[in-house]
Structure 1
Amino acid sequence: MPNTPRAARDARPLTFTEQARRAQFVGLTIRVIAEHGYAGCSLQRIADAAGVTKAAVLYHFASKAALVRAAYEEVIGQLTADVGALVEQAAGPAQAVEAYVRGLTGHLAAHPDHVRVIVEALDGDTAITDRPASPSRWQALAALIEAAKESGAYRRDIDSRVLAIVLGGAIDGLIAESLQDTAFDVVAAADALVDLLRRSTG
């Protein structure tokens, strides 16, 4: 099958200008979803926010779903990078678990627009396979907990999967509360969660 103009563009490296334009559209998509939800996000609304035509958006992204997927990947990429950096700097396995808990909570609290994208993108027809119940949501934390068990920092009888799921649910609850109440002290709440973690694992 002959290459379409889009296929030909996708097959070559993006120019600096194209990368910058795509990044702009992704950033605007995050903002539009945060303000209007997935249903209220349209290519025309994104084009208007960028001050360009809808055709200009379609030059870079074939559909709304493709653009929302790119926004979702950007949000998850930033989250993973920030939390991963904190975990790598931890002094030991137990501290790595605590860094994960504090890092994930802090990042989501500091980026409420990203939280809305994570929630809204999964409700739309975006073909995003990630789901709240996906194993990928707890596996990374479970691996850190398992390492803490092997080091002797945590009790050997702890179920890493269960604890990871419980901590994930607690973090979701803290973030939901912070979105409802801007005066809610997320840092103090994360400290309290870490204190509970220490009491239950030592």
Structure 2
Amino acid sequence: MTPRRSPGPDAPTFTELARRQQIIECTIDLISTRGFPATSLSAIAEEAGISKAAVLYHFASKDNLTRDTLSYVLQQFTRYVNECLAHQADPRAAVLAYVRAMISYQQANRRHVRVITEMLLDDAGGTRLKTPGSHDTAGRWQALADLLAQGQRAGQFREFAPQAVALAIGGAIDGVVAHWLSDPGLDLDAAADELEVFTLHAIERRD
């Protein structure tokens, strides 16, 4: 039987798509446990139970594979946050939902956090991947800055520079998550509660 194909004349078969996803998941596992520099194509192939040539058939190079892996992780993260914000019409509620979503996703997806920190926030050996709009600090928190600006236009928040405050809130989120990664005993739910309080103090009107 010929494998079914997804739409498009040159689209990969469903079997090929499943194999690609398996390889990406193995790459996530290895980067999150061994680190990015120590994750080789041979190790990925061994983890997936296939040959190195089979990995290269699907991704052509380690750079292609690791970029696709990072893109997959970031897409999952972004989709989750967007879903949490989808029904938040009130700016204040939207900002709090954003903060909570940033923490809850990372709490539930520790492997993904490791991939992001290994490939975006670390620069071991000059191997950091340059992903536009995601690796730079300002770009990472642009969505939060936009939410803050919307709240200001609605008259709910005090006057401040949205980019600067987004960086401050984002830095606090990064700090909490970084501490949790090194100390899993940290009560991340309690930390998220405090981050919400911190955020409200930073943005709400005082008159």
When the two structures are superposed, what TM-score results if normalisation uses the length of structure 2?
A: 0.87
Identity %: 40
Unaligned runs of 5+ residues in structure 1 are 1-10
- Between the aligned partners of 1:48 and 1:93, the Cα distance in structure 2 is 48
The question of 1:133 aligning with 2:131 is answered no
| Matched residue count | 192
140, 151, 159: which is aligned to 2:161? Answer: 159
The question of 1:31 aligning with 2:34 is answered no
- Between the aligned partners of 2:36 and 2:97, the Cα distance in structure 1 is 32
Instruction: Label 1:76 to 1:131 Cα distance change in 2 as closer, same or farther (>3 A).
Output: closer
20, 23, 29: which is aligned to 1:22? Answer: 20
Partner in structure 1 of residue 196 of structure 2 = 194
Partner in structure 1 of residue 145 of structure 2 = 142
- Between the aligned partners of 1:101 and 1:93, the Cα distance in structure 2 is 13
179, 182, 191: which is aligned to 2:181? Answer: 179
86, 94, 97: which is aligned to 1:96? Answer: 94
- Between the aligned partners of 1:169 and 1:126, the Cα distance in structure 2 is 21
Q: CA RMSD in A?
A: 1.8
Instruction: Label 1:105 to 1:96 Cα distance change in 2 as closer, same or farther (>3 A).
Output: same
Unaligned runs of 5+ residues in structure 2 are 1-8
User: Are the equivalent residues in 2 in contact too, given 1:101–1:194 (CA < 8 A)?
Assistant: yes
Partner in structure 1 of residue 68 of structure 2 = 70
Q: CA deviation at 1:89?
A: 2.2
Q: CA deviation at 1:28?
A: 0.6
Instruction: Give the stretch that moved more between structures: 111-120 or 22-31.
Output: 111-120
- Between the aligned partners of 1:125 and 1:166, the Cα distance in structure 2 is 24
43, 49, 52: which is aligned to 2:50? Answer: 52
Indicate the structure whose relative CO is greater, using CA pairs within 8 Å and at least 6 residues apart: 1
Instruction: Give the stretch that moved more between structures: 131-140 or 78-87.
Output: 131-140
- Superposed CA deviations along residues 59-106 of structure 1, whole A, max 9, x for unmatched, are 001111110101100110010000111111224111111111110111
Q: CA deviation at 1:120?
A: 1.7
SS in 2 for 1:100: helix
Letter in 1 for 2:69: A
